[in-house]
Amino acid sequence: MSAKKVRVRFAPSPTGGLHLGGVRTVLFNYLFAKKHGGDFVLRIEDTDQSRYVPGAEDYIMECLNWCGLIPDESPVAGGHYAPYRQSERKVIYREYAERLVMQGHAYYAFDTPEELDRNRKEIPNFQYGHAYRDTLRNSLTLSQTQVDQLLKDGEPHVIRIKMPEEETVYFDDMIRGHVSFNTGESDDKVLLKADGMPTYHLAVVVDDYLMDITHAFRGEEWLPSAPVHLLLWEYLGWKDAMPQWAHLPLILKPDGHGKLSKRDGARLGFPVYAMNWFDEKTGEMTPGFRELGFLPEAFLNLLVMLGWNDGSNDEIFSLDEMVQKFSIDRVNKGGAKFDFEKAKWFNSEWIKRSEAGRLKSEVKKILEEKGVVVTDDALLLKVIDLVKERCTLLPDFYQQSAYFFEQPKEYDLAAVKPKWTDAKTTFFEGFMTMLGNTERLAGEELEQSFKALAEEHGIKAGELMLPFRIMLVGGKFGPHVFDIAALLGKQETIARIEKALAAFSN
């Protein structure tokens, strides 16, 4: 471990919703930083103004807040290395791009978009690199006088890195070990665009250096860009300050074939974004885990298990436990299949483990949005504790608990009427009388009294349990029926039996 204080960063582009793979990158950054007493930085990479989407930055911040992954430094929190938006750092990057040109490691390219398009159409597998750059319009083929005049005239141009034709570069990845590349396979990436904005390649190196980033976590899809970045660190004289890299495995489609995409989620019926994302340009709403009814604890738990384990059979971890147990050498090299059924299992487990007070505000909101008025918070807490083991997603609390606050509007008569008899009516009339004479309603005692009365009436208790449940809740669901009755209280239980008997007997 470096003697320097650990500093990691998440650097998203504000171009749309936050994919669960992005949140996992945030999580691994966060866990590594906190494990080593370091800082977690959020940097907004908004240099591509053509793809900038209003509202996307606020969305990213809200996602991180929901997950509890709060940056130590960010455009909102500020910090010693501000500004944290690359668009506000624009003036910084040209200095380094020009330095690379002066050193002979980069060059001005004056080719128009039309000229480049023509080359792509006419030349199979065209790349702007060592094979073709000597035939194109750039400062390598033009005289210094011509270049100076074009620059003086304000001719649109970009600055490209000059990749060596045949050189091996390498680094040691924290996950993948020794990784090497032949520079001849990489094209001459644009470093500074015609509008003066840097591309990702230049900006990420400059900003990581200036912000003292010590470790960089990113998806394995960035591996092909590594040769460019390695050379930039070397050419700018910063090689010894280069962060340690960790290229994270992909999150794969459920069948394991290819990277999980938004399209896969739409096709298979599950979210791939942390929260709902509305694209103002297309009018398209992409669903998120939060709105579907996932707890943030469960969302983080399912993400950390996509590519990491602590070496035990444990699967349930709080964020604090993840920080304590996280180790980069336990991150897998191979991709992890996304399993939505497993994701829902994590959520059900976290709902079970959560105290009623933790769930109260969300459950109350769900009920009230459905028109169920909750005036007794103490009752709500008892209800949550009683039904939470039956809930997989937060909206499940509506079906599982609404009937505690309002009488059933309809009954599953098809489950009762075919086997309904006058004897059963007589039983429930007697049961109401018994309830009226009962001082205190407790689940176990009530069950014993119910079964004893059924025996007196010569009816099997099992034949009466389902009708009793439907009287109280309207359908074939809910926790133990006598626990429901005990929580409703004897007056409400009697009222529901009386109301249901009228419906059952018609």
User: Which residues, at least 6 apart from 107, have a Cβ–Cβ distance to it below 8 Å?
Assistant: 101, 133, 138, 139, 140, 159, 160, 162
Pair 382, 405: CB distance under 8 Å = no
Nearest Cα residue to 12 out of 24, 334, 94: 24
How far is Cα 419 from Cα 405, in angstroms, rounded to an integer? 29
In the chain, what is the straight-line distance between the N-terminal and C-terminal CA atoms, in Å? 78
User: Which residues, at least 6 apart from 76, have a Cβ–Cβ distance to it below 8 Å?
Assistant: 61
**What residues does 181 pair with on adjacent strands?**
169
How far is Cα 66 from Cα 4, in angstroms, rounded to an integer? 30
- Any idea which residues carry the catalytic annotation? 262
Is residue 505 packed enough to be buried (19+ CB in 10 Å), middle (13-18) or exposed (0-12)?
A: exposed
> Which residue matches tokens 């050419």?
235
Pair 378, 350: CB distance under 8 Å = no
Give strand ranges (E) for 74-150. 106-109
| Sign of the Cα pseudo-torsion (357, 362, 367, 368, in order) | positive
Side chain identity at 43, as an amino acid letter?
R
How far is Cα 375 from Cα 143, in angstroms, rounded to an integer? 82
Name the 3-class secondary structure at 249.
coil
Side chain identity at 150, as an amino acid letter?
L
Name the 3-class secondary structure at 146.
helix
How far is Cα 1 from Cα 36, in angstroms, rounded to an integer? 9
**What residues does 71 pair with on adjacent strands?**
none
Length of the chain: 506
Q: Which two tokens stand for residue 197?
A: 């904005």
